[in-house]
């Protein structure tokens, strides 16, 4: 036998083609139906990121959902710790760009795949050899408070609804009620142009930019235009067992920002009012405690207080304009039988019984 007769036949998987038994999915993409029937095809389609054939899975996402399928291989999904279908983070349910931004603030390195095919294949081969994921930063750094607040822990099945019918948009759909797609016009805006590769790499993702912009707006408490207001309102205070305990804890939380003029407690309403001497100190305290302040492990709502003078002025203006009803001198009868309203008769205007005739 010649030398060529001993040659080992090359396998179909020599380039790292993936063959899996079950996909890596989030709870939202699986749908609300616990009995999911999946279709599986080995090497059925190439990955949208690494362009290598992998095992594709297809299923119906819930009773009212559309058919969904995996779009990236498991190697790419494990490198980014994302779902194979929606490409959202498996731990927080957020886009990759949002997660990586706040993880970098904790000192974690961003995992980036090279754009060249050779470098990408080399990094994925190293990731497959590292089965324990020791080189990946996920789950090894502390939880960022912003990630905990933005995390989507509950499934959002509305994301599985059918796509918009393109024939209906063109005015050429003749299926009517039998059409499996939605008959409505698409809405434009910043979310109209979303790209799969940008979602995976965490770059130029319009949805991530929208989430981070809303998060910054929620954390920003705009100060009132009236510069005389130096009071902060604290709502949702926990019930204290010892009198004066809550006031002491509030003072410990706010004295670091500057001089406090007074702290007024309202135990029945579970709230308090903290008044500072200077307006700059009050603005700094509101900026650093809004949506963050916790007392005894309970989250406390912080906002600006309303001036009491303004409320009194509004009441005086209402009395002057006549919109407020004047106080009336109500007549209280001595016997129940003397009450005309009890018999269904209203007293005549200007008529009033003589109290001297009432026996004593």
For the stretch 235-291, pLDDT in tens is 988 776 455 667 888 999 999 999 999 999 888 888 899 999 999 999 999 888 888
Whether the CB-CB separation of 38 and 69 falls below 8 Å is answered with: no
Nearest to 86 by CA among 205, 196, 207, 198: 196
Residues of the chain within CATH 3.30.70.330 domain(s) are 231-310
Cβ atoms of 94 and 151 within 8 Å: the answer is: yes
Do residues 25 and 78 touch, judged by C-beta distance below 8 A? no
User: Quick one: pLDDT at residue 314?
Assistant: 64
Task: Give the model's confidence band at 105: pLDDT under 50 very low, under 70 low, under 90 confident, else very high.
Answer: confident
pLDDT of residue 244: 66
pLDDT value at residue 276: 94
User: Taking 80 as the threshold, does the pLDDT of residue 231 lie above it?
Assistant: yes
Q: Is the pLDDT of residue 64 over 90?
A: no
pLDDT at 23 over 80: yes
Give the pLDDT confidence score for residue 298 in this predicted structure: 84
Q: Which is the CATH superfamily of the domain at 231-310? A: RRM (RNA recognition motif) domain (3.30.70.330)
| Confidence category of residue 333, pLDDT binned at 50, 70, 90 | low
Band the pLDDT of 148: cuts 50, 70, 90.
confident
Report, as an integer, the average pLDDT of 22-46: 92
Query: Has residue 348 got a pLDDT over 70?
Result: no
The predicted pLDDT at position 241 comes to 46
Is 131's pLDDT higher than 90? Answer: no
- Give the pLDDT of residue 346: 54
The residue ranking higher by pLDDT, 233 or 309, is: 233
Rg (CA), the chain: 34
Q: Which residue has the higher pLDDT, 85 or 11?
A: 85
- Higher pLDDT: 350 or 158? It is 158
* Res 356 pLDDT > 50: no
Length of the chain: 360
Note whether 27 and 156 are within 8 A (CB).
no
Whether this prediction's pTM lies above 0.75 is answered by no
Buried b (16+ CB within 10 A) or exposed e, 45-55: eebebbebbbb
pLDDT band at 96 (very low <50, low <70, confident <90, very high): very high
- In terms of Cβ atoms closer than 10 Å to its own Cβ (0-12, 13-18, 19+), residue 217 is exposed
Q: Point out the least confidently predicted range of 29-38, 41-50, 205-214, 237-246.
A: 237-246
Mean pLDDT over 22-28 rounds to 93
Kindly tell me if the per-residue pLDDT of 345 is higher than 80.
no
Query: Is pLDDT above 70 for 16?
Result: no
What pLDDT, on a 0 to 100 scale, did the predictor assign at position 110? 81
The answer on pLDDT for 132 being more than 70 is: no
Alpha helices (H) along 171-270: 196-201, 206-219, 245-254
Averaged confidence pLDDT in the chain: 81
| Stronger pLDDT, 331 or 191, i.e. the higher one | 191
């Amino acid at each position: 036998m010649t030398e060529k007769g001993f040659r080992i036949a090359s396998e179909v998987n020599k380039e790292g083609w993936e063959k899996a038994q079950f996909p890596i999915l989030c709870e939202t993409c699986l749908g609300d139906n616990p009995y999911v029937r999946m279709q599986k095809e080995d090497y059925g389609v190439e990955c949208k990121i690494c362009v290598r054939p992998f095992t594709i899975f297809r299923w119906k996402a819930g009773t009212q959902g559309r058919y969904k399928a995996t779009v990236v291989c498991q190697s790419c999904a494990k490198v980014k710790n994302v779902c194979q279908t929606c490409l959202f983070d498996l731990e927080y349910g957020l886009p990759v760009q949002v997660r990586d931004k706040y993880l970098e603030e904790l000192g974690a390195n961003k995992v980036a795949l090279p754009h060249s095919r050779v470098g990408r294949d080399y990094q994925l081969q190293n990731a497959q050899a590292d089965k324990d994921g020791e080189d990946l930063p996920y789950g090894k750094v502390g939880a960022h408070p912003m990630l905990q607040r933005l995390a989507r822990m509950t499934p959002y099945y509305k994301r599985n609804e059918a796509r918009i019918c393109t024939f209906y948009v063109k005015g050429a759909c003749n299926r009517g009620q039998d059409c499996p797609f939605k008959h409505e016009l698409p809405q434009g805006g910043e979310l109209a142009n979303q790209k799969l590769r940008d979602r995976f790499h965490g770059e130029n993702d319009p949805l991530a930019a929208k989430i981070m912009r809303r998060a910054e707006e929620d954390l920003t408490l705009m100060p009132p235009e009236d510069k005389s207001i130096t009071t902060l309102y604290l709502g949702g205070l926990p019930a204290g067992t010892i009198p004066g305990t809550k006031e002491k804890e509030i003072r410990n939380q706010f004295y670091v920002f500057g001089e406090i003029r007074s702290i007024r407690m309202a135990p029945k309403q579970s709230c308090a009012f903290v008044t500072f001497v200077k307006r700059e100190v009050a603005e700094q305290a509101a900026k650093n405690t809004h949506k963050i302040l916790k007392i005894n492990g309970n989250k406390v709502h912080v906002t600006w207080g309303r001036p009491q003078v303004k409320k009194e002025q509004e009441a005086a203006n209402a009395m002057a304009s006549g919109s407020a009803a004047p106080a009336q001198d109500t007549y209280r009868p001595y016997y129940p039988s003397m009450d005309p309203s009890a018999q269904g008769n209203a007293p005549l205007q200007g008529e009033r019984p003589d109290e001297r005739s009432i026996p004593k």
